[in-house]
Chains A and B, each alone.
Chain A
Amino acid sequence: MYNLIGAGLIVIGAGIGLGQIGGKAMEGIARQPEATGKIQTAMIIIAALLEGLAFGALFLGK
Chain B
Amino acid sequence: MTLQLMRDLQHYIRFSVFAILIFTAPVAFAQEHDEAAHGDEHSDGMVDTKQEVDQYILHHIQDSHDFHLFSYTNDAGERVHVGFPLPVIIWTSNGLTTFMSSEFHHDDSGEVIVEKNGLKFAKLHSKIYELEQGASEVVLDEEDHATNAHRVLDFSITKSVVGILLIGILLFIWFRGLAKQYKTKKIPTGFGRVLEPLVIYVRDEIARPNIGEKHYRKFTGYLLTVFFFIWLLNLAGLTPFGFNVTGQLAVTAALAVFTLIIYTFSGNKEYWKHILWMPGVPYLIRPVLAVIELAGAFLIKPFSLLVRLFANISAGHIVVMSLIAIMFTLRESLGTVGSTGLSLLLSFFITLIEVLVAFLQAYIFTMLSALFIGMAVAEHDHDDAHDVAEGAERRADVI
By a beta-carbon cutoff of 8 Å, the part of chain A in contact with chain B is: 41, 44-45, 48-49, 51-53, 55-56, 58-59
The residues of B that contact A41 with a CB separation of less than 8 Å are 205, 209, 367
**B311 contacts chain A at the CB level, 8 A cutoff:** yes
CB of A62 to closest CB in B, whole Å: 10
Contacts of B363 in A (CB 8 A): 44
Contact B367 A55 (CB under 8 A): no
Neighbouring A residues of B307 by C-beta, 8 Å: 52, 55-56, 59
Is B368 a contact partner of A56 (Cβ separation < 8 A)? no
A-B contact pairs, 30 of them (CB 8 A): A41-B205, A41-B209, A41-B367, A44-B360, A44-B363, A44-B367, A45-B364, A45-B367, A45-B368, A45-B371, A48-B364, A48-B367, A48-B368, A49-B304, A51-B308, A51-B312, A52-B304, A52-B305, A52-B307, A52-B308, A53-B304, A55-B307, A55-B308, A55-B311, A55-B312, A56-B303, A56-B304, A56-B307, A59-B307, A59-B311
CA distance A16 to B342 in the complex (A): 29
How many chain B residues touch the partner (CB < 8 A)?
15
CA–CA, A56 and B303, complex, Å: 8
Smallest CB gap from B209: residue in A: A41
Partner of A58, one of B205, B311, B364: B311
Complexed CA–CA distance, A12 and B209 (Å):
33
A45 to B364, CA, bound (A): 7
C-alpha spacing A60/B249, complex, angstroms:
14
B308 touches A48 (CB 8 A): yes
Inter-chain contacts of B360 with A (CB < 8 A): 44
Q: How far is the CA of A45 from the CA of B370 in the complex (A)?
A: 11
In the assembled complex, how far is the CB of residue A15 from the closest CB belonging to chain B, in whole angstroms?
15
| Bound-state Cα–Cα, A10 to B312, Å | 15
In whole angstroms, how far apart are the Cα atoms of A58 and B205 in the complex?
31
Contacts beyond the supplied A51-B308, A55-B307: 8 A-B pairs with Cβ under 8 Å: A44-B360, A44-B364, A45-B364, A45-B367, A48-B364, A49-B304, A55-B312, A56-B303
B30 → A minimal CB distance (Å): 35
Cα distance A55–B311 in the bound complex, in angstroms: 6
Q: How many angstroms between the C-alpha atoms of A49 and B307 in the bound complex?
A: 11
Encode B296-323 as 1/0 by CB contact (under 8 A) with A: 0000000111011001100000000000
Distance, CA A32 to CA B395, complexed state (A): 21
Residue of chain B at shortest CB distance from A49 = B304
A45: chain B residues within 8 A (beta carbon): 364, 367-368, 371
Chain A residue nearest to B304 (CB atoms) is A52
Enumerate chain B residues within 8 angstroms of A58, measured Cβ to Cβ.
311
Counting chain B CB atoms within 10 Å of each CB, the highest count among A41, A51, A52, A58 belongs to A52
Q: A58 CA to B311 CA in the complex, in Å?
A: 9
List of B residues within 8 angstroms of A52 by Cβ: 304-305, 307-308
Q: How far is the CA of A55 from the CA of B314 in the complex (A)?
A: 11
Q: Which residue from chain B places its CB closest to the CB of A37 in the assembled complex?
A: B205
Contacts of A49 in B (CB 8 A): 304
Chain B residues positioned under 8 Å from A53 (CB to CB)? 304
